Amino acid sequence: MSNISELPGLQELWSETKGDAAVCIAILDGPVDLSHACFDGANITEVETIAKSPAGLDSASQHGTHVSSVIFAQHDSEVLGIAPQCRGLIVPIYTSSNGGSRVCSQLDLARAINQALAHGADIINISGGELTSSGSAEPVLEKAIQQCIDSGVMVVAAAGNNGCRCLHVPASISTVLTVGAMDENGEPLQFSNWGDNYQENGILALGENVLGAESGSGTVIRSGTSFSAPIVSGIAALLLSLQHKNGVDATAQKIRSTLLDTAESCNRETEADCQRVLRGRLNIKSAHSSIKIQIANNLSQQKIPPQFYPSSFNSKVDVNHALNTSYIRTTSDLINQRRNIMSENSLANTTVSETGVTESNATINQEVISEVAIPEPISITPSAIQASEVEASDCGCNQAKAEPEKAYALGQIGFDFGTEAKRDAFQQISGINIHDPIAVLDYFEVDPASAANVIWTLSLDATVVYAIQPYGPFASNTFDRLKNLLKSQLHDNMERVSVPGLISGSETLLNGQIVPLIFPDLRGMYGWSTNELIELIAGVCPTDKKKAELHANKIEGIQNFLERIYYEVRNLGTTPQERAMNYAATNAFQVSEAYTKAIQADMKLDRIEVERSPICRPGSDCWDVKLGFFNPAKRLEQARHVYRFTVDVSGVIPVTVGKVRHWDVY
């Protein structure tokens, strides 16, 4: 059995910090048995997801409980967690139902990452992945991870336990910190994966016979990259806590760079042997020293007198006095700082992939168990999403209930029957061909009440991302709106629908998938054709030849913007940035003003970004959608021009604030 407390350099790091409540680690895994004695006194919150289910004795719960205990187990218990005083966030992606299946789609993994980000995670641990030949993730997953990177949040993922030169998603994504498994002597374990993508972003950590909590009670030892990953996540959290403790502004992304730069490099003779070591072995002592140097340099740059340095730098320090100075931030300050860092995150126009994740484990007798796929989240039931699946890599707490999540999603309306019994009943009662959406829509006209006997869905192209549940006194009006939107899609070439609402629970579709359930706000449900919207914005084409040319350029520019929103920057519409971006696409009249001026200056759209707005009303949540333009013929001569319009997303339905602002960027 490997004792985590004996990891070289950990005791020295523990002597300075066992974590900080301002540092949050999110565990994306199976349900966690928070009643286990090792979590008594831990600061852990569980987030409700579509995979939410009670912890049990099944595989998913055992895995999630073990992984979580490696980080959060308190030091008065049988298990010693690496960062017991950090804040924990449990975001279930596997479910305890159906025998504890450990599989989830890349789309659902992206949802969970977005939720972790929204709840203030600094580090996200994913002890799972999906085996892939290309190493590429689906766009939605890549985008979710990119939002983490833009916010300074570190994503840690297991390398996988196939024992081959092969890759897992999300570990194969270059901005993720990949963790493989080694034994106590630093030798790569036979089941630990390696590959080209891991050579720059991967390190090895202890993954053999790792002690952890067993769901129910007691302890268990397991082997696998699933248990190497939380060791690295815990060490990263301690290093980040140390910086916070000493008043240094830092992000987990900077800690990631430190861990990679200080990793103990391979000392083997052949390159083939070294590939299994990835970038190197986790070196806690060197990483700790590097962080202390960074802290000392920071204190020096701030011109803090040496007598006020923390005790880790000068044993003669008057610590109490130092903590009372403005040089050392309080926990409250650090939490606020963390929120600011997150809110200032910018959403760039990057592409994302959706994939699945798996996990590797071993039994107590060191028999490596085959990897399992990440379970699709359960709570209601998923939709017809044919996405790849992510499997887990495995071989006494405060549980706060989160408020319903807001969404402002764009997509296409559809319907599903949920179960074969409901499908057959609908067919027998209606006597129609239920596979013909036009026939079903016509039947809704004959029997309006039947619209409540199907599951209404919202899809991103061919992927169902939400189930829609009308509710309240205007539910019948909402059903009518859904029918009309579907009719327009089928007969009038309507391409996009906006659905604002609150997410709560989930729904299961006929194919067995589970999707989040959105309770829509009728006031913001609209549908449109891109061409008709553009024509409405651009107005009638002038007869003057020169003006007609400008008009054509304006139409082309607006279409370019909308297409990039719909495809290049497509999203789930849940984070504030995504909701602001999607609202900007539906409120294209403001975009029209920007394009009119840009086209007159011979400029083209360069980038679309979202960032926290400095202009906002009290109690609101405001974001600026920024459109950057440049002149292709005068890249080095003419300044770029930026147009910024502010969107308040504090309500279910976003609203614009103030006028469009613009300026030159040199």
> What is the tens place of the pLDDT at every residue in 253-287?
899 999 999 999 887 656 667 889 999 999 999 99
User: Do both 513 and 641 map to the same domain?
Assistant: no
Do 556 and 534 meet the contact criterion of CB atoms below 8 Å apart? no
pLDDT band with cut points at 50, 70 and 90 for residue 499: very high
User: Do both 387 and 480 map to the same domain?
Assistant: no
| pLDDT at 664 exceeding the cut of 90 | no
Distance CA 518, CA 379 (A): 13
Distance CA 455, CA 383 (A): 9
- Among 198-202, 442-446, 541-545, the minimum mean pLDDT is found in 541-545
Beta bridge partners of 647: 623, 656
User: Do both 410 and 515 map to the same domain?
Assistant: yes
| pLDDT at 506 exceeding the cut of 80 | yes
- The reported pLDDT for the residue numbered 101 is 57
**Mean pLDDT of all residues in 182-191:** 93
Average pLDDT score, the chain: 81
- Among 68-82, 416-430, 619-633, the minimum mean pLDDT is found in 619-633
Neighbours of 220 (CB within 10 A): 17
User: Do both 122 and 255 map to the same domain?
Assistant: yes
- Among 38-42, 130-134, 234-238, 536-540, the minimum mean pLDDT is found in 536-540
Q: Quick: pLDDT tens for 130-176.
A: 988 788 888 889 989 998 998 899 999 999 999 999 999 999 999 99
User: Do both 177 and 264 map to the same domain?
Assistant: yes
| pLDDT at 378 exceeding the cut of 60 | no
User: Do both 508 and 582 map to the same domain?
Assistant: no
Structural domain ending residue among the three candidates 528, 563, 585: 528
Does 470 map to a domain?
yes
User: Do both 66 and 20 map to the same domain?
Assistant: yes
Tell me whether residue 29 is one of the annotated catalytic residues: yes
Q: Quick: pLDDT tens for 163-184.
A: 999 999 999 999 999 999 999 9
List the catalytic residue out of 2, 20, 29, 353: 29
Max mean pLDDT range (84-88, 104-108, 302-306, 337-341) = 84-88
User: Do both 214 and 95 map to the same domain?
Assistant: yes
Does 534 map to a domain?
no
Share of the chain above pLDDT 70, in %: 80
Do 639 and 665 meet the contact criterion of CB atoms below 8 Å apart? yes
User: Do both 582 and 511 map to the same domain?
Assistant: no
pLDDT band with cut points at 50, 70 and 90 for residue 425: very high
Q: In 3-state terms, the chain is what percent helix, strand and coil (to 5)? A: 35, 25, 40
Does 628 map to a domain?
yes
- The reported pLDDT for the residue numbered 55 is 72
Whether the link from the prior residue into 306 is cis, omega within 30° of 0, is no
Which is it for strands 177-182 and 154-158: parallel, antiparallel or unpaired? Answer: parallel
- Among 263-277, 378-392, 568-582, the minimum mean pLDDT is found in 378-392
How big is the chain, counted in residues? 666
Nearby residues of 159 by Cβ (< 8 Å), 6 or more positions away:
129, 168, 171, 178, 179, 180, 181, 192, 193, 194, 198, 202, 225, 228, 278, 393
pLDDT band with cut points at 50, 70 and 90 for residue 402: low
User: Do both 614 and 486 map to the same domain?
Assistant: no
Looking up tokens 């057959």 gives 424
Tell me whether residue 592 is one of the annotated catalytic residues: no
User: Do both 493 and 571 map to the same domain?
Assistant: no
Report the domain count for the chain.
3
pLDDT band with cut points at 50, 70 and 90 for residue 439: very high
Nearby residues of 267 by Cβ (< 8 Å), 6 or more positions away:
none
Does 302 map to a domain?
no
- The reported pLDDT for the residue numbered 338 is 38
Does 566 map to a domain?
yes
List the catalytic residue out of 53, 96, 151, 226: 226
Q: Quick: pLDDT tens for 204-220.
A: 999 999 999 999 889 99
CATH code for position 188: 3.40.50.200
- The reported pLDDT for the residue numbered 388 is 52
Best CA proximity match to 465, nearest among 515, 509, 417, 415: 515
Distance CA 416, CA 378 (A): 17
| pLDDT at 377 exceeding the cut of 90 | no
| pLDDT at 313 exceeding the cut of 60 | no
| pLDDT at 470 exceeding the cut of 90 | yes
Structural domain ending residue among the three candidates 358, 392, 426: 392
Query: With a threshold of 0.85, does the pTM exceed it?
Result: no
- Among 156-165, 218-227, 579-588, the minimum mean pLDDT is found in 579-588
User: Do both 566 and 510 map to the same domain?
Assistant: no
- Among 330-344, 464-478, 575-589, the minimum mean pLDDT is found in 330-344
- The reported pLDDT for the residue numbered 71 is 97
- Among 185-189, 236-240, 377-381, the minimum mean pLDDT is found in 377-381
Best CA proximity match to 166, nearest among 127, 198, 203, 201: 198
Looking up tokens 């709570």 gives 379
- Among 5-14, 102-111, 206-215, 264-273, the minimum mean pLDDT is found in 264-273
Distance CA 97, CA 95 (A): 5
Does 544 map to a domain?
no
| pLDDT at 343 exceeding the cut of 90 | no
Nearby residues of 106 by Cβ (< 8 Å), 6 or more positions away:
130, 137, 138, 140, 141, 169, 353, 354, 355, 356, 357, 387, 388, 389, 390
Distance, C-alpha 128 to centroid of its chain: 15
- Among 300-309, 310-319, 354-363, 617-626, the minimum mean pLDDT is found in 354-363
Structural domain ending residue among the three candidates 499, 528, 557: 528
Distance CA 222, CA 366 (A): 7
Does 326 map to a domain?
no
Does 542 map to a domain?
no
| pLDDT at 362 exceeding the cut of 50 | no
Range of the domain at 78: 4-296+349-392
